[in-house]
C-alpha cells in the first residue's frame, strides 16, 4: 500500500517528504488507518500495450496507461489515488504525451505517474539515434536522415552539440566570441532586417547561396545586450558585407554607442570544430564532427518540442490533481527562428487592454516547454530530472493555479528553467499560488541566452521560490516582470516570496541586468511592500569581456521595480552596483550597505536541502 498524495504548502514538510525520495521507491507505505488502497498499474520498456498493466504484465507506453485510465473511468469519483508505476528504462516518444481534464484526479485524490525504481530511473526521451555514418572529410561524418528531417539542436552522448558557427565558440559553455555589426551610413542605424559585417569578417570564398540558408544569432540593439534573436538569412552580398534577414530582430542592429554582437551559424562552410553539426534539409543529410570516435558516439536527433503537455480545454475546464514523481525527461527540440515577443504594441493581432504587453510575452509560435502546462490546477512535478531541452524546461501559460515544482534537477536547458507567463494585465488574475522549492537549475539559456532565467515569473502572484540553487546563465537568475505602464489594479505580480536561494554565475554574457531582476512590478505610489526577498546569496556577476553594455548587478530593480523588502542579502563581485533601485523598497542587512551582519545569514539553509534526491552538478558553487 502507498500513501495518498495530499497537496501541502507547508515548507517545513518539504525536507521530510524529499527524504523519502532517496530510497528505491518514491512513495512511502500508507498509514493503514487511512483505509485507502490506491489502484496501481505498471508500465515497462519491455512491456506490451496488450498487457493487463500489472507488475508481471506491464503496459509499454505512458500514453496507453493514460488511455486505459480514461476508458475504465478510473479518474471519476475516486475513493483513493491511482498510481501508474514506470519501471526503470527509456520511453522514447515522437510527440508529447498529452493530459487534459479527463485525466484529472477527483474527490481530493491524485493521479500519479511515478518512477517506480527511484528518481530519474524512468526516462521519457524525445530523440532518436542517428546511424549509418560515413566519413566525409576532415574528421566530419555524414548520415542520411531523410528529406523530411527537421530539427534545430543535436546531442552526442547526452551533451548538446553546437550548430556549426562562425566564429567558433570559445568553449562548450560560453557563447562568445562574436562578430560586431556595423553600418555603411548613419541613416541606416534603425534597420532591423539588414546587418552589415565589418570589412574582412566575411570570407569571400563562401557561397552566397549557401549562406542564404544559414541563420544569425545576434544581441540586437547595438550596445544594449538585452535580448538575442536567432533569425534565418534571406540574402547575402559578400562584396558589400550585407546580410538581409527573413524577419525583424527585436531591436535595431546599431545604436549610437556600438554595433551588435553576433555570430553566423547553420552552414556546412562553418563546420570545422569538434562537437559541431550541420543539417542539410534539402538533401536530408546530417554532417557531424564528433568529439571522439564516431563508432563510440551516440548521436541523437530530437523528435519533439514537448514531452509532457498538460492542458485543460479552457480556463473553466482545467486539468487538475496530477502528480509526476521522479521521472526523467530528456531531449527536446528548438525552433527554426526565435525572437522574444512582438516588435511593436498590438502586433499579436489580438485586442488587449495593454497592447504593449505583446512585447513582453512569448509569441504564439514560441509557447512551449519540455513540460507545458495551461488551464490547470494543482499539478505537481516532484523529484524530476529535466535535461537537454531545446527550449524551456517547464512552461506554464496563462490560467494555472498551484503548480508545484520541487526536489528537481533541471540542467542543460535551451531557454528558461521554469517560466510562468500569467495573463495579459487587467484580463483576470488566473496565474497564482505556485511553489518552486528545493530545485537545482543549472546551465540554462543555452540556445536563448538573451532571455535566460532560472525562474521567470510574468504577471503572476502569491508564489514562493525557495531553497534552490540557480547557476550558469548568460542573463538572469530570477526575474519577476510585468510592465511600467500597468496600473496597480491590473497588476497581478503581488505577494511573491523569494527565500533561501543561491544564485551563481549569472550575467555571463549580457549587460544592464541583475542576477535578481524585476521590471514594471509596482508602478504607482504609495508602493505597498508586498513582494519579499530574504536569505539570498548571489555570487560574482561578471560578463564576457565582449559585452559593451552598462554593467552587471546583483539586484536590479528596473523601471517599476518597487514594493519589495530585501532582508539578509549578500552579493559578490559585479561590474556596476551590487544593488540598483529607486528609493521605493525596504532593505535590511544587505552587504551593499554599511553595517552588514554576516552572522544573520543562514548559510546552512540557503540552496537545496539534504533531501535533494540527485547528485549536484559538478560545476556546483553552492558554498559547500
Q: Interior CA angle at 295 toward 289 and 299, to 5°?
A: 55
Residue 623 pLDDT grade (very low, low, confident, very high; cuts 50, 70, 90) = very low
Bond preceding residue 177 cis, omega within 30 of 0 = yes
Strands 155-156 and 159-160: antiparallel
- pLDDT per residue as tens digits for the range 67-98: 999 999 999 999 999 999 999 999 999 999 99
Q: Which residues of 586-617 are buried (b: 16+ CB within 10 A; e: fewer)?
A: ebebbbbeeeeeeeebeeeebbbbebbbbeeb
Beta-carbon contacts of 448 under 8 Å, excluding residues fewer than 6 positions away, are 228, 230, 338, 340, 391, 414, 415, 416
Is the CB of residue 563 less than 8 Å from the CB of residue 529? yes
Q: How far is CA 173 from CA 115, 301, 515, in A?
A: 31, 20, 18
Is the CB of residue 281 less than 8 Å from the CB of residue 149? yes
Is the CB of residue 249 less than 8 Å from the CB of residue 218? yes
Beta-carbon contacts of 544 under 8 Å, excluding residues fewer than 6 positions away, are 174, 175, 176, 508, 509
Across residues 398-419, what is the average pLDDT?
A: 98
- pLDDT per residue as tens digits for the range 453-503: 999 999 999 999 999 999 999 999 999 999 999 999 999 999 999 999 999
By CB neighbour count within 10 A (0-12 exposed, 13-18 middle, 19+ buried), where does 96 fall?
Answer: buried
Across residues 518-522, what is the average pLDDT?
A: 96
Distance of alpha carbon 602 from alpha carbon 18, whole angstroms: 20
Q: Tell me which DSSP letter residue 378 carries.
A: E
Across residues 162-178, what is the average pLDDT?
A: 97
User: Which residue in 449, 432, 386, 402 sits closest to 394, CA to CA?
Assistant: 386
Percent of residues, the chain, with pLDDT higher than 90: 91
Mean of per-residue pLDDT scores for the chain: 93
What pLDDT, on the 0 to 100 scale, is given for residue 36?
A: 87
What pLDDT, on the 0 to 100 scale, is given for residue 35?
A: 64
Start-to-end CA distance of the chain, whole Å, equals 38
For residue 301, the cross-strand partners are 128
What grid cell was written down for 526?
A: 504609495
What pLDDT, on the 0 to 100 scale, is given for residue 3?
A: 41
Q: How far is CA 611 from CA 11, 14, 344, 440, 605, in A?
A: 13, 8, 46, 12, 12
Beta-carbon contacts of 246 under 8 Å, excluding residues fewer than 6 positions away, are 193, 231, 232, 233, 234, 337
Amino acid at each position: 500500500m502507498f500513501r495518498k498524495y495530499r497537496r501541502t504548502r507547508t515548507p517545513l514538510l518539504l525536507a521530510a517528504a524529499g527524504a523519502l525520495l532517496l530510497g528505491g521507491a518514491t512513495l512511502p507505505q500508507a498509514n493503514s488507518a487511512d483505509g485507502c488502497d490506491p489502484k496501481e498499474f505498471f508500465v515497462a520498456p519491455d512491456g506490451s500495450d496488450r498487457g493487463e498493466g500489472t507488475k508481471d504484465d506491464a503496459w509499454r507506453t505512458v500514453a496507453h496507461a493514460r488511455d486505459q485510465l480514461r476508458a475504465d473511468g478510473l479518474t471519476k469519483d475516486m475513493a483513493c489515488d491511482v498510481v501508474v508505476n514506470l519501471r526503470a528504462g527509456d520511453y522514447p516518444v515522437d510527440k508529447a504525451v498529452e493530459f487534459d481534464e479527463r485525466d484529472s484526479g477527483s474527490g481530493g485524490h491524485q493521479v500519479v505517474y511515478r518512477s517506480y525504481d527511484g528518481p530519474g530511473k524512468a526516462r521519457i526521451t524525445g530523440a532518436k539515434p542517428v546511424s549509418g555514418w560515413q566519413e566525409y572529410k576532415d574528421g566530419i561524418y555524414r548520415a542520411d536522415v531523410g528529406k523530411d528531417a527537421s530539427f534545430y539542436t543535436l546531442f552526442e552522448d547526452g551533451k548538446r552539440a553546437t550548430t556549426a558557427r562562425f566564429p567558433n565558440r570559445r568553449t562548450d559553455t560560453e557563447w562568445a566570441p562574436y562578430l560586431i555589426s556595423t553600418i555603411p551610413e548613419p541613416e541606416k542605424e534603425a534597420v532591423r532586417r539588414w546587418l552589415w559585417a565589418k570589412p574582412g569578417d566575411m570570407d569571400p570564398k563562401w557561397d552566397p547561396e549557401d549562406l542564404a540558408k544559414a541563420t544569425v544569432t545576434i544581441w540586437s540593439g547595438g550596445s544594449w545586450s538585452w535580448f538575442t534573436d536567432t533569425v534565418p538569412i534571406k540574402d547575402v552580398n559578400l562584396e558589400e558585407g550585407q546580410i538581409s534577414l527573413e524577419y525583424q530582430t527585436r531591436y535595431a542592429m546599431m545604436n549610437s554607442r556600438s554595433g551588435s554582437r553576433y555570430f553566423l551559424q547553420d552552414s556546412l562552410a562553418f563546420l570545422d570544430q569538434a562537437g559541431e553539426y550541420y543539417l542539410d534539409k534539402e538533401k536530408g543529410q546530417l554532417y557531424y564532427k564528433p568529439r571522439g570516435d564516431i563508432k563510440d558516439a551516440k548521436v541523437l536527433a530530437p523528435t519533439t518540442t514537448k514531452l509532457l503537455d498538460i492542458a485543460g480545454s479552457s480556463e473553466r475546464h482545467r486539468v487538475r490533481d496530477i502528480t509526476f514523481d521522479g521521472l526523467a525527461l530528456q531531449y527536446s527540440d528548438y525552433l527554426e527562428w526565435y525572437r522574444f515577443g512582438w516588435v511593436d504594441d498590438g502586433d499579436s493581432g489580438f485586442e488587449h487592454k495593454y497592447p504593449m504587453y505583446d512585447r513582453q510575452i512569448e509569441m504564439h509560435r514560441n509557447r512551449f516547454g519540455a513540460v507545458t502546462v495551461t488551464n490547470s490546477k494543482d499539478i505537481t512535478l516532484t523529484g524530476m530530472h529535466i535535461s537537454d531541452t531545446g527550449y524551456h524546461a517547464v512552461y506554464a501559460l496563462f490560467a494555472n493555479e498551484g503548480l508545484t515544482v520541487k526536489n528537481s534537477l533541471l540542467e542543460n536547458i535551451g531557454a528558461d528553467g521554469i517560466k510562468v507567463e500569467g495573463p495579459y494585465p487587467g484580463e483576470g488574475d488566473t496565474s497564482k499560488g505556485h511553489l518552486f522549492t528545493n530545485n537545482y537549475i543549472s546551465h540554462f539559456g543555452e540556445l536563448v541566452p538573451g532571455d535566460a532565467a532560472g525562474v521567470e515569473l510574468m504577471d503572476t502572484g502569491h508564489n514562493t521560490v525557495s531553497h534552490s540553487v540557480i547557476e550558469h546563465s548568460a542573463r538572469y537568475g530570477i526575474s519577476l516582470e510585468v510592465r511600467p505602464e500597468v496600473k496597480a489594479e491590473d497588476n497581478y505580480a503581488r505577494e511573491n516570496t523569494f527565500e533561501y536561494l543561491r544564485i551563481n554565475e549569472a550575467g555571463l554574457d549580457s549587460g544592464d541586468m541583475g542576477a535578481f531582476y524585476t521590471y514594471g512590478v509596482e508602478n504607482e505610489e504609495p508602493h505597498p511592500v508586498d513582494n519579499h526577498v530574504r536569505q539570498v546569496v548571489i555570487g560574482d556577476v561578471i560578463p564576457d569581456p565582449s559585452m559593451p553594455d552598462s554593467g552587471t548587478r546583483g539586484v536590479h530593480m528596473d523601471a517599476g521595480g518597487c514594493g519589495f523588502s530585501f532582508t539578509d542579502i549578500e552579493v559578490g563581485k559585479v561590474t556596476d552596483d551590487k544593488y540598483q533601485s529607486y528609493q521605493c523598497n525596504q532593505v535590511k542587512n544587505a552587504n551593499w550597505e554599511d553595517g552588514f551582519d554576516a552572522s544573520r545569514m543562514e548559510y546552512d539553509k540557503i540552496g537545496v536541502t539534504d533531501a535533494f534526491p540527485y547528485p549536484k552538478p559538478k560545476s556546483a558553487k553552492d558554498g559547500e
